Amino acid sequence: MTGTTLTRGYVIIWIWLLALMTVSLFANTLPVSRPAIVTLMFVVAAVKAVLVALNFMHLRLEAWLIYAIATAPMLLVFGLMLALFPDFVLPR
Amino acid sequence: MSAATPTYAGTAGAAARGKVGIWWFLASEVMLFGGLISSFVISRLGGSAHVEHDHLNVTVAAINTFILLSSSYTMVEAYAAAERGDRRGMRVFLGLTVLGGLAFLGIKAYEYTGEITHGFTPWAGTFWSFYYTMTGLHALHVLIGVIANATLCLGARLGLERPYRVELAGLYWHFVDIVWIFLFPLVYLS
Amino acid sequence: MSHASPTVTAVRGPHEATGFFRTYLYATDHKMIARQYLLLGLIMAVVGGYLSYAMRWQLAWPDTEVPGFGFVGPETYNVLVTNHGTIMVFFVAMPILLGSFGNFLIPLMIGARDMAFPRLNALSFWLLALGSAVVLVSFLVPGGAASAGWTGYPPLSAKAEYTGVDWGLTLWLLAHAIEFAAFLLGGVNFLTTIVTMRAPGLGFGRLPLIIWQQATAAILFLLSVGPLIAGAIMLLMDRIVGTGFFLPERGGEPLLWQHLFWFFGHPEVYVVLLPALGAVLEIFPVFSRKPIFGYTLVVWATIVAGALSFIVWAHHMFVSGMDPRLAMPFSITTILISVPFALAVFAMIASLYRGSIAFELPMLWALAFLAMFTTGGLTGIFLGSAPSDIYLNGTYFVVAHFHYTLISAVIFGGYAGIYYWFPKMFGRMLGTRLGQLHFWSTLVSFNVVFFPLHWIGIAGMVRRIANPLQYDMIAPHQWINVVSTVALFGLVASQLVFFVNFFVSQLRGRPAPANPWEATTLEWTTPSPPPHGNWGEALPVVGRGPYEYSVPGATRDWLPQRTGAAAAEARP
């Protein structure tokens, strides 16, 4: 991982992040349904998170072990949230 | 990462150990924020926590988002400079990152003040309880990151810099940024 | 005897700690930290045992003065139940099985000189010491210590008015937050050490099984405790700031706490169990002079059990009022998780089959673990399936079940490990005469304390009642409570035997050779106790797997993992 070659890449990623932020800021004005807007916002957030993780955190240069450490908790959080749905969200 | 580190005190070994360690730590942090955010999400979808957008300052939060995203960029540039052996660049970018973190905290404090003076205290309802707990825990992490980065910046001034430490602090800082990337739409936008 | 030579003093690496402060207080040597954890765990075990004594006395002879404690009554009884549970799990089991065994064995078994982050290691221990101090202090504040049960369910725990305990419960929560931080940092340290610091030649497939179990336990803790910390923050906010996360009248969800708690709570029992299982798995091959049966099988069983432990938690909540649609999937995963554990138990039994078994003390404890753990595991099947659990939930059947599983882990597995590694840890042999007395009296009294509790539980005695005589249906069975309490006196007395043996042997025990049990793993190729830096000048090189006993054609019945002269010299 050498810094010199990546620096220009970092600027591009930063610009992407700001552009995506702008998209989610103005998503509320889009002429589509509310669930679609919310979905868009979280897809955008996920893309931003992946951009930061892959580039700024250099995940794309890492070994499989680091990938595993990074993704396992995400899956667990997702599973936890789904398991909570019957009790708190779904109608009885 | 499967290669064993045969030397005991070499800095290369320390960098590899530090990186594996910080990733394990971040995994536990994902679970911490994940547990809290999951609780908020199900309370919201279940109807017990109504979001009160009208009383949140979205413009100020957007500025804060901009600042935190940019500080992530300066952090990664600080690491790039450290890798190049560019001490001055490293100090400048670390300093900028610290400033970004401080600005974020200042603006957050301004936001809190406004909300509390309008009567939206942490005990004003489930949404506000979650709002203060989530953003407060995040702000605490920002504060820790600011302290870490400032320590590295001052250490570099004294000639104590080790490039891998900048990378480790950066991993933490970017994680804090990612948490905000999710909190921002969750609390302010959707 | 040992491979220590005069040149060892010139070893590159950490400087030998000197002076009282560096040796005992700000110690960064993993072996000293392991001893610190062990001592702290034993001290807290005395506290937890004292609480259980007062509790059992109250159950046998309700509302009489407890000698050496005083009058108990319902409020104090709640304090006893709560703190006995959390102290034993978080401040005894974890410090001894993870803190002490993990810290001592990981660097020695993987051929490292210390943990990956020695100073962080010291921080972990002192955080735990701080947490222990906070727990003890919580007994002294006005209003007394926490009394909302070890699970701390809100709304009971969310407001001071409900229990009458204000600062005691807040401090209790705080103490556990500190404990979690300590073991989080400890877990990061364990995992980093195992991943990055294995000796040359020591691939993952050659790791001793206890290292796999410690790693799995660390991962389970690391990944399960976050949601509970989040819940604890919310509960503290409810208590201190006045939010209503868990208060129904304020729109909160008390059930959410139960989910967050048990999402951690179930993996946590494996965090305690796995290191004990690992210790037993280390001991069986040594004292039956056979390789472990199915190394790969046990590794996979550990990983699968660890993964499954994240999706069984709601079996603790069948009667909580949660959505009944969750009961079926969680029953299924619970029954499923007995499969990997059954595999591990079968692997253990197969490892013993036709071995030349030596009934040394570590082996006795390990065998007792196997028997007791299987008993506890079998009663778990009754509790894991929703229909029978709805009847048994909250009764003394549950109490008997988890004491059979947890005590088999902490007491039988823990003592197996302590008796086995004591020579390496302290450089002297643990006395066998007192050891035999300790083992047999513990085994008998433990069973007399806890086995009858199954019956009284089925008869309908529920947990957390201060006076069983108030209930007509339990009163005829009161003799069971008396028998159990009298046996507890025996159990406590046999631990005193251990304490005497433990401290006397450290001072007067027979000096231990480097490898008293003729075991193969790396730690037995260092002197007892190992010097600072563990390995002298050169790191060990590993040439084979961990359990090469009775290899056909070999000149002796064990082949050390370590290659080279040092391994040969380490023969007793």
In a domain, B15, yes or no: no
CB C368 within 8 A of CB C439: yes
Separation of alpha carbons C447 and C341, rounded Å: 22
The predicted pLDDT at position C572 comes to 45
Tell me if chain C has a CB within 8 Å of the CB of A83: yes
Q: Which residues contact B168 (CB under 8 A, 6 or more apart)?
A: B18, B19, B22
Domain residue limits at A10: 1-61
The C-alpha of A18 sits at a distance from chain C's nearest C-alpha, in angstroms, of: 30
Residues forming a β-bridge with C466: none
A80 and A48 both lie in a single domain: no
Q: In B47-162, where does DSSP find H-type helix?
A: 58-84, 87-117, 126-157
Separation of alpha carbons C84 and C147, rounded Å: 11
* Closest Cβ opposite residue B30 in set A11, A24, A77: A77
Tell me if chain A has a CB within 8 Å of the CB of C332: no
The predicted pLDDT at position B9 comes to 35
Residue of chain A nearest B20, judged by CA positions:
A66
The predicted pLDDT at position C22 comes to 79
The predicted pLDDT at position C16 comes to 61
A7 and A51 both lie in a single domain: yes
Q: Does residue C155 have a cis bond before it (omega within 30 degrees)?
A: yes
The C-alpha of B190 sits at a distance from chain A's nearest C-alpha, in angstroms, of: 6
Separation of alpha carbons C175 and C185, rounded Å: 16
Task: Quote the number of domains for chain B.
Answer: 1
Residue of chain B nearest A58, judged by CA positions:
B171
A68 and A83 both lie in a single domain: yes
Residue of chain B nearest A17, judged by CA positions:
B69
Chains that touch C (3 or more CB pairs under 8 A): A, B
The predicted pLDDT at position C25 comes to 82
CA angle (C516 as vertex; C513, C522 as ends), nearest 5:
90
Mutation choice for A interface testing from C190, C245, C257, C326 by most A CBs within 10 A: C326
Closest CA to C46 of C379, C503, C537: C503
A48 and A31 both lie in a single domain: yes
The predicted pLDDT at position C12 comes to 43
The DSSP code for C240 is I
Tell me if chain C has a CB within 8 Å of the CB of A68: no
Angle between helix C414-426 and C432-458 (nearest 10):
160
Separation of alpha carbons C569 and C1, rounded Å: 6
H or E element in which residue C31 lies: helix C30-60
List Cβ<8 Å contacts ≥24 apart for C460-463.
C460/C395, C461/C395, C461/C396, C462/C394, C462/C395, C462/C396, C463/C81, C463/C394, C463/C395, C463/C396, C463/C398, C463/C399
Tell me if chain A has a CB within 8 Å of the CB of B41: yes
CATH of the domain at B95: 1.20.120.80
Separation of alpha carbons B75 and C19, rounded Å: 42
Separation of alpha carbons B69 and C343, rounded Å: 50
Size of interface A-C (CB pairs under 8 A): 31
Q: Is the pLDDT of residue B187 over 80?
A: yes
String of b and e for C335-355 (b: at least 16 CB within 10 Å)? eebbebbebbbebbebbbeeb
CB B82 within 8 A of CB A2: no
Length of chain C: 572
Mutation choice for B interface testing from A10, A30, A76, A82 by most B CBs within 10 A: A10
The DSSP code for C562 is B
The C-alpha of A38 sits at a distance from chain B's nearest C-alpha, in angstroms, of: 6
CB C338 within 8 A of CB C405: no
In a domain, B8, yes or no: no
The predicted pLDDT at position C263 comes to 96
A8 and A30 both lie in a single domain: yes
A40 and A57 both lie in a single domain: yes
Separation of alpha carbons C492 and C218, rounded Å: 31
Cβ neighbour number for residue A36 with a 10 Å cutoff = 11
pLDDT in tens, B133-163: 999 999 999 999 999 999 999 988 787 777 8
Q: In C197-288, where does DSSP find H-type helix?
A: 209-236, 254-288
In A, which residues are within 8 Å of B39 by CB distance? 84
Radius of gyration, CA atoms only, chain A: 17
Q: CA quadruple B2, B3, B9, B11: dihedral positive or negative?
A: negative
By CB atoms closer than 10 A (0-12, 13-18, 19+), residue B47 is exposed
In a domain, B32, yes or no: no
The residue whose two tokens read 């807040």 is C170
Q: Is the pLDDT of residue B99 over 50?
A: yes
Cβ neighbour number for residue C472 with a 10 Å cutoff = 7
The C-alpha of B9 sits at a distance from chain A's nearest C-alpha, in angstroms, of: 22
Domain residue limits at B80: 57-189
pLDDT in tens, C489-506: 999 999 999 999 999 999
Length of chain A: 92
A54 and A12 both lie in a single domain: yes
Tell me if chain A has a CB within 8 Å of the CB of B99: no
A41 and A72 both lie in a single domain: no
A2 and A31 both lie in a single domain: yes
The predicted pLDDT at position C569 comes to 53
Residues forming a β-bridge with C542: C562
CB A81 within 8 A of CB B41: yes
Task: Quote the number of domains for chain A.
Answer: 2
The predicted pLDDT at position C33 comes to 96
The C-alpha of B161 sits at a distance from chain C's nearest C-alpha, in angstroms, of: 19
In a domain, B50, yes or no: no
pLDDT in tens, A14-73: 999 999 999 999 988 889 998 999 999 999 999 999 999 999 999 988 888 899 999 999
A35 and A12 both lie in a single domain: yes
Task: Give the residue ranges of chain C where pLDDT is below 70.
Answer: 1-17, 565-572
CB C287 within 8 A of CB C362: yes
With CB atoms and an 8 Å threshold, state whether C230 touches B42. Answer: no
With CB atoms and an 8 Å threshold, state whether A69 touches B31. Answer: no
The predicted pLDDT at position A4 comes to 47
* Closest Cβ opposite residue B122 in set C225, C237, C539: C237
In a domain, B25, yes or no: no
Radius of gyration, CA atoms only, chain C: 24
